[in-house]
Structure 1
Amino acid sequence: PLAADSYEQLLDHSEIEQIRALLGSLNDRERMILRARFGLDGPEQSLRDVGERTGLSAERVRQIEQRALGKLRAAADRGERD
């Protein structure tokens, strides 16, 4: 798992801006869940850990994560066509 500093070292500035823009297309809860699950703000967290932090079940966290990833894919696809 890559910490925020580590993933930023692997990407150039334009890629970082693209990721930030894509994350900006999500609502606060979706963004927080993806950041926690993928370790963008520290170590990766399990579905259960995120659920306990947010008061949601692990299954609900998984559903929100999947919906958010779908939104990111759609936004990225739109960006590639522009």
Structure 2
Amino acid sequence: MKTASFPSLRVEPKLRQDTESVLYDNESLSQFIESAVRQQVELRKANTEFLARGLASRDNARQTGQYVEAVDVLEKLQNRLDQHKAKHTTK
């Protein structure tokens, strides 16, 4: 498989120093940048999909007139959080 490259990136010397200071053993600056780019691509894809689902849900609610009260959603979320905390509390 052929590879492609990104354009060179100009940054302030302080940013480069800070970046190099957090590299893992045997990790190159190129590997770090590639990993950061991959993570941002996945995050932005997930955010786009999340927004699309939210807008579709909004449109569906407007079309059907069926809404869920915010207090009900918050209660369910609080219950899930409480269950998770109970399960992971050390005794």
TM-score band w.r.t. shorter chain: 0.3 to 0.5
Between Structure 1 and Structure 2, which shows a larger proportion of helix residues? 1
TM-score, structure 1 length as denominator?
0.40
Greater relative contact order (Cα 8 A, min sep 6): structure 1 or 2? 1
- Give the alignment's TM-score, normalised by structure 2: 0.36
Higher CA-based Rg: 2
